[in-house]
Structure 1
Amino acid sequence: MTTSEALRCYVYIQLPGSLDVVTCGLFEQKDGVGRFVYGRSYRSNPLAVELEKFDLPLGSNTFETARLGGIFGALRDSSPDAWGRTVIERQLGRVDLTEVDFLLHSPEDRAGALSFGVDTAPPAPIHQFNKVLHLDVLMREAARIEQGLAPSTPQLDSLIQPGSSLGGARPKNVVEDDEGLWVAKFPARNDRWNNAVVEAGMLRLAQECGLRAAFGRVLSVAGQDVLLVRRFDRERVDGGGYLRHRMVSALTVLRADENPLDRSKWSYLLLADELKRWVAHPDEDMRELFSRMVFNALISNVDDHPRNHALIAPGTAWNLSPAYDLTPAPQASIERDLAMEVGSAKNRRANRTNLLSECGRFRLSRDEASRLIDQMKTTVSTRWRAVVTECGGTEADLNAISRAFDYEGFEYTP
């Protein structure tokens, strides 16, 4: 492809509260600039909703962006992550794929309510997913991908889907059981502890701290543990099929760059400001966001970048999604830096003073914020070992992650 050639695809959306998938618009990318226009028939649909609230409001305009190489945030959030891209490149035998290629070759298990195609009308939806009972086969094939090996058979290769962009870049797949859809997160070659039981423990610990966190459970598969995280952007309906909820990452909400070398907009403070514009219940969601920031500090989750926060819209209104990707990162140093800015010091230092310094931005008084921190610190300190053990963690796992908790620098006063 030369730089003067345009890439284009139609964008489809599953309407809120409905199984109907309709064409909502046309996306075109050329010379690093993306353009999107809503279709006239979609704009006249009484159930029509915007793809994102401010950069793509519902209207007749042709919208343009040069951010993220010309990909609108709502579309990029539907694209596969690093693991999914590896899977698609392997299945197509190509390493020269464009962002539009990745959009077109991602399956229905992508995050959110969008899908993409080259025809004006959307194809019939496919409601066939791998089953939980196939996890042993899926895990073996995922391991082959990690090792750069060819698929065992073409039939097995076809079972390996890129997986939702939820859940980070680790090996994963989407599976189904009688309860619904789950993101299955497999062991990775470079894991330093049993990631399944530790992450399941952190999701449960977050709930004990009062956070709205995704539900996870651990299954033993062929002698290894696999974490299943229930999809919160899908809702099973009677008679079969799933409602799909719109979803955008905090990267999109912040209009931020995903390159960690440019963190100018990676900020809990800026995200709190955006929640005031985006969500239906800002006071509730800002308190939740503050609590998540504190929780990430208390467990040394330094991978709390903007793609690991999201907004979701089951209906017409947006709200903060359940928390996900909560993983401790033990360190030898006595202080921690989160991925996003947390306080008035204009830095990412995860200590009590910095966390409290801008609590007003979250519509919390200093006393309220202090009480939240005290309560959460007590819960994390007294419960993390028991919770991880209850999820299947061993003494070796506890020792491996112990430096993530109760670190001296949390109470450090500059």
Structure 2
Amino acid sequence: MAIRVEVHLPGGRQAHAGELDLHLNTGGALVGSTFRYADDYLRTAGAYALCPELPLTPGPIPSAGDRPMFGTFADCQPDQWGRTLLFHAERNIAQAQDRASVRLTEKDFLLGVQDETRLGALRLSLDGGETFLAPPRADVPDLVNLPALTEAAEAVAEHRGSDRDLRLLVAAGTSMGGARPKVTVRDTDGELWMAKLPRPTDRWDVQAWEYLTLRLASRAGIEIPVARLHRVDGDGGRHSILLTRRFDRLSGGRRVGFLSAESLVQKAFFETIDYRTLAETLADHSGRPSADGHDLFRRVVFTLLVRNVDDHMKNHGFLRRTEGWSLAPLFDVNPDPFSVAESTPLRPMGNRIDREIRVLLDTCGSYGLRLDDARQVVGEVSEATAGWAELARDLSLPEGEITLMAEAFENPNRSEARSLAA
């Protein structure tokens, strides 16, 4: 059965975009998909291509062999954490009904995300738009539920989650990506926020350090989401929860189209995409290529100076605005004192671990920058992030963690940045 796809266009109007068919083999694995735009959508003022793989053309559009799911739909599917929740929920339901668990497919994951919390502007239906999938299993939790959500996430991570834990977490949304537990909560004004929860295995206060890093990014002239640090007391002591307001939602519940960098560059599963390639691809798709190119360069400088290792094509995003796609606020930036994680290389075939800021400067033309202007950006970001330790103390972070994090923030690129800006 074809899935009806509707989308919120810039300006707030909801339109019928077309129909999606998913092709599964006998084992339930996704082998391809086909999308067809609705004729009326192709004639609608303000209609846009949902992703580069889906140009605004009539007739069926098949997926490529190495990308069986179109990027715009892959981006609003659950990632590791959300899939874990759906797997556990199905297992518990099957046990309660005394039956074997159903093997979940990509279609189940796509349609299993709660409509209200689904990432981006898409809405999906199997009954011609009468109802949108998935219908709410329960109300989206409020901020006051954060302690209970934290306890539930810890229980699920340790494979001892109850039915109540799963119901609470699934109601809080499953489409936020990544492996860390994330939930969507509602504030007293009805606005949606994403909450990143702690894990029992964390070696430092991950959420507090991400909050600090976002604050530094703002000082460096990078757009960030509205963010708060919320602390709760639990059995293991005080835990931090990072709250960021959902930037894919506007007042009145209007939805904003979202596309990951992975979808923008049409990355294949085993492919490695570098920043130079991303910058050049962005120039072809952005509604404001000069501003976005310069901003992307500033973000890469920032990433190198704070040793952000949570750095891959899923952790850069683009929002659909009236003029086209443009960079979303910065998200998922995690400094790490250990530099063994593979990250996005700066240029094709570049080093994925020891990334040097001089190499980035060599590619500044791909971001639309002259060398002198690029060096100035390096100086500005270096100066803005130099006060990281003072900010950490203002946030009451432990001295032991500050000493540990010096390995991240005082990495060789910082010394190099100072000499380049001199």
Instruction: Identify the TM-score tier after normalising by the shorter chain.
Output: 0.7 to 0.9
Equivalent residue, structure 1, for 2:312: 305
Equivalent residue, structure 1, for 2:128: 120
TM-score normalised by structure 1 residue count: 0.87
Equivalent residue, structure 2, for 1:3: none
Equivalent residue, structure 2, for 1:217: 228
Equivalent residue, structure 2, for 1:149: 160
SS of residue matched to 1:318: strand
Match status 1:159 vs 2:168 = yes
CA distances 1:279-303 after superposition (whole Å, capped 9, x unpaired): 1111111011001111111111122
Equivalent residue, structure 2, for 1:267: 274
State the one-letter code of the partner of 1:169. Answer: A
What is the 5 A alignment of 1:39-118?
39-52=38-51, 54-67=52-65, 69-93=67-91, 94=101, 96-108=103-115, 109-118=117-126
Q: Distance in 1 between matches of 2:342 and 2:285?
A: 24
Poorly superposed stretches of 4+, deviation over 6 Å: none
* C-alpha spacing 1:136/1:67, structure 2 compared with 1 (3 Å): farther
Q: CA offset at residue 41 of structure 1?
A: 3.8
Equivalent residue, structure 2, for 1:362: 367
Q: CA offset at residue 274 of structure 1?
A: 1.3
Q: Distance in 2 between matches of 1:236 and 1:49?
A: 22
Q: Find 2:334's aligned residue among 310, 313, 327.
A: 327
What is the 5 A alignment of 1:197-216?
197-216=208-227
Match status 1:13 vs 2:10 = no
Q: CA offset at residue 138 of structure 1?
A: 1.3
Q: Is the 8 A contact 1:245 1:315 kept in 2?
A: no
RMSD: 2.5
Q: Is the 8 A contact 1:184 1:229 kept in 2?
A: yes
Q: Distance in 1 between matches of 2:152 and 2:173?
A: 14
Q: Find 2:383's aligned residue among 371, 378, 382.
A: 378
Q: Distance in 2 between matches of 1:359 and 1:281?
A: 17
Q: Distance in 2 between matches of 1:68 and 1:130?
A: 38
SS of residue matched to 1:115: strand
Q: CA offset at residue 96 of structure 1?
A: 2.6
Match status 1:243 vs 2:243 = no
Q: CA offset at residue 214 of structure 1?
A: 2.1
Instruction: List runs of 5+ in structure 1 lacking aligned partners.
Output: 1-6
Q: CA offset at residue 268 of structure 1?
A: 1.0
* C-alpha spacing 1:69/1:149, structure 2 compared with 1 (3 Å): farther
Q: Distance in 2 between matches of 1:103 and 1:87?
A: 14
Q: Is the 8 A contact 1:8 1:29 kept in 2?
A: no
Q: Distance in 1 between matches of 2:35 and 2:313?
A: 24
* C-alpha spacing 1:167/1:88, structure 2 compared with 1 (3 Å): closer
Q: CA offset at residue 367 of structure 1?
A: 1.0
State the one-letter code of the partner of 1:157. Answer: L
Q: CA offset at residue 244 of structure 1?
A: 0.6
Equivalent residue, structure 2, for 1:37: 36
Q: Distance in 1 between matches of 2:407 and 2:268?
A: 31
Equivalent residue, structure 2, for 1:395: 399
Q: Distance in 2 between matches of 1:205 and 1:166?
A: 24
* C-alpha spacing 1:36/1:91, structure 2 compared with 1 (3 Å): same
Q: CA offset at residue 208 of structure 1?
A: 0.4
State the one-letter code of the partner of 1:160. Answer: L
Q: CA offset at residue 16 of structure 1?
A: 2.9
SS of residue matched to 2:200: coil
Which deviates the most, 350-359 or 310-319? 310-319
Equivalent residue, structure 2, for 1:405: 409
Match status 1:175 vs 2:182 = no
Instruction: List runs of 5+ in structure 2 lacking aligned partners.
Output: 26-30, 92-100
State the one-letter code of the partner of 1:376. Answer: V
Q: CA offset at residue 220 of structure 1?
A: 1.6
TM-score normalised by structure 2 residue count: 0.85
Equivalent residue, structure 1, for 2:197: 186
Q: CA offset at residue 224 of structure 1?
A: 2.0
State the one-letter code of the partner of 1:342. Answer: L
Q: Distance in 2 between matches of 1:25 and 1:211?
A: 37
* C-alpha spacing 1:165/1:304, structure 2 compared with 1 (3 Å): farther
Q: Distance in 1 between matches of 2:300 and 2:212?
A: 18
CA distances 1:21-68 after superposition (whole Å, capped 9, x unpaired): 64632233245121111123433444533212x311222121111355
Equivalent residue, structure 2, for 1:285: 292
Q: Is the 8 A contact 1:218 1:391 kept in 2?
A: no
Q: Distance in 2 between matches of 1:60 and 1:283?
A: 31
Q: Distance in 1 between matches of 2:86 and 2:178?
A: 16
Equivalent residue, structure 2, for 1:27: 21
Q: Is the 8 A contact 2:231 2:239 kept in 1?
A: yes
Equivalent residues, number: 392
Equivalent residue, structure 2, for 1:253: 264
Which deviates the most, 85-94 or 61-70? 61-70
CA distances 1:161-184 after superposition (whole Å, capped 9, x unpaired): 263644632112100113521101
SS of residue matched to 1:37: strand
SS of residue matched to 2:57: coil
SS of residue matched to 1:112: coil
Q: Is the 8 A contact 1:21 1:122 kept in 2?
A: no
Q: Distance in 2 between matches of 1:131 and 1:152?
A: 19
